[in-house]
Amino acid sequence: MQREFPEVPLVGVGAVIIEDERVVLVKRAHPPLQAEWSIPGGVLEVGELVREAAIREAREETGLTVEPGELLGVYDRILRNPERRVQYHYVLIDFLCRRVAGDLAAASDAAEVRWFSRDELPVLKLAEDTLDVIRKGFSNRKANR
Any idea which residues carry the catalytic annotation? 112
CB-based contacts of 128, cutoff 8 Å, min separation 6: none
Say if CB 65 and CB 59 are below 8 A apart.
yes
> Which residues have C-beta within 8 Å of that of residue 74, sequence separation ≥ 6?
91, 92, 93, 94
Quickly count: other Cβ atoms within 10 Å of residue 78's Cβ: 11
Residue 115 makes CB contacts below 8 A (sequence gap 6+) with 19, 22, 23, 24, 104
Whole-angstrom CA distances from 103 to 52, 60, 99, 118 are 20, 12, 9, 21
